[in-house]
Amino acid sequence: MTYEQKFIVKYDVPPLQAVHWEGIWVSFSSVRPERLENVIDAVYQIGNSRTLIIATIGLILSISFFNFSGITVTKEMNATTCMVLDSVRTLFIWIMSLSIRWESFQPLQPVGYVLLVCGTFIYHNLVFGPLWKKIKERGANYEKEPLLFDKASGQHSGIGVN
């Protein structure tokens, strides 16, 4: 994401064009035994299944939408914000999977999502860094002298001083 941010800011690439260029870099090399994908077999299976055609079109549209949104956020804000907002994709997919009954609700799933979001916030220094900075600034702004201090003599009055 950081590299993507540098690229789209440096060359002022429109988000939709950036999504297009990302799609161009797909490799269509011959299938080797150690590769997991088989483009020819995938096209054959998709062509013979209406469900796969609908799912593939839906997948293409949703990935395009999320990539366009992500690049737009990265260009207008920054890569860190994009990564935090990217966790919303997980929530969206989970809600869709529940609504079309591809999976059933498990009580630990929301807990896992909260941990995912908290981890993302911590990793991108959005929680502890700003909090620590605010604590340091607040500490620096407090008086360093006792309340009753005679500046002329440089003596404490003795009240409130241990």
Range in 10-14, 27-31, 118-122, 152-156 with the lowest mean pLDDT: 27-31
Q: Please, which residues have CB within 8 angstroms of residue 31's CB and are 6 or more apart in sequence?
A: 37, 38, 39, 40
pLDDT tens per residue across span 54-70 = 999 998 888 888 888 88
Whether this prediction's pTM lies above 0.85 is answered by no
> 3-class SS at 150?
strand
Q: Where are the beta strands (DSSP E) in the chain?
A: 149-150, 155-156
Residue 54: per-residue pLDDT? 93
Residue 159: per-residue pLDDT? 52
